[in-house]
Amino acid sequence: MIKTVTFFGYSESKPGDPEYDAAYKTAKLLASKGYHIVNGGGPGVMRAATEGAHAGGGKATVVSFVPKDMTHFEGRDQLNHADEEIMKENYLERTLELLNQGDIYVVFNGGTGTISEFGMAWGLARLYFGHHRPLILYGDWWHEIMESFGRNMLMREIELQVYRIVTTPEEVLEEVEKLNK
């Protein structure tokens, strides 16, 4: 049963950017249907997810940590006003907790941090196939990336069965609700 949705995406996204607006609208729609939203506590898509959850009448949890000696990590965004914060020791523990918190993951466009989170989620889905937590990849551009993986990497067929690609908040909700039946 899916109750909690973890959002991953670009930390430097601003209101008006496609991924920010999509994350906001998706979180708002999911929250309005009773789903709890989780994100990494930073700016960009993470803040958009919290704001969207609140606009939809729901709640948001963030998982964060205090970076030490990290020159390129955005850290906790003080404007990301979540209802609950879970603090971890480092990036790896934070990522694992984000994965642990969610019953399903929505991955928006992002940089290397998003790629890292996506890779861990995808790897765990393959390892726990049949009992895995599904991935929703938001954006039409994912088709090209996933097709490239399929053509160029040594992929197992089940690795290509653990995700769905969508392009609207309504499609995210549809996929979540399909899995709840």
Q: What is the DSSP string of 67-135?
A: -SS-SS-----TT---SEEEEESSHHHHHHHHHHH-SEEEE-S--HHHHHHHHHHHHHHHHTTTSPPPE
pTM of the model: 0.94
With a cut of 80, say whether residue 70 has pLDDT above it. Answer: no
Please provide the DSSP assignment of 133-171 as one string.
Answer: PPEEEESTTHHHHHHHHHHHS---GGGGSSEEEESSHHH
Q: What value does the mean pLDDT take over residues 43-50?
A: 97
Domain positions in the chain are: 4-179
Question: Residue 99 carries which side chain, given as an amino acid letter?
Answer: L
Lookup: tokens for 140: 């039409």
pLDDT in tens, 6-38: 999 999 999 999 999 999 999 999 999 999 999
For residue 158, the model assigns a pLDDT of: 86
Which CATH fold topology does 4-179 show?
Answer: Rossmann fold (3.40.50)
> Which pLDDT belongs to residue 72?
53
Residue 141 has pLDDT above 60, yes or no: yes
Query: Which tens digits make up the pLDDT trace of 53-65?
Result: 999 999 999 999 8
pLDDT digits (tens, 9 = 90+) for 152-166: 999 888 888 899 999
